[in-house]
Structure 1
């Protein structure tokens, strides 16, 4: 699932200077090592979709202002590949 310019190793630090190891740790946390990511949607970071993006409605938990967890459905972005999701995460476009 992870990649770089060659054989599956993460790329260098992102454009914001965040080490690749932190990005990998976020992927592990957000997706449970890929186990919580719906198959074929290629969204390892749980990136939500906006109106003009392909999405899938997926059950999730959101934290309320008073710190309670609320079960809900939310639109999560669908990427054409896992590389597309990592590329977006590595750029300022996501942040």
Structure 2
């Protein structure tokens, strides 16, 4: 387990249910020191990540739908909601 900070999230539908994937970077890695949001990631890299999640369940014959990227401001409300739901 490493300390990481969120920079955004990918919203999607997975098997008919809403599903969010939080994109993080390592907190103490100097290579990511300047990465604070999705705007700091190359658009092609974000598309590669989205394409992975668009197709990663194909062999299971399950359907996923990519809704789009949300910036870092959308992450903490989701995290807080999940923490509350887990109590």
Scaled to the shorter chain, the TM-score interval is: under 0.3
- Considering fraction of residues, name the structure with more helix: 2
TM-score (norm 1): 0.25
TM-score (norm 2): 0.27
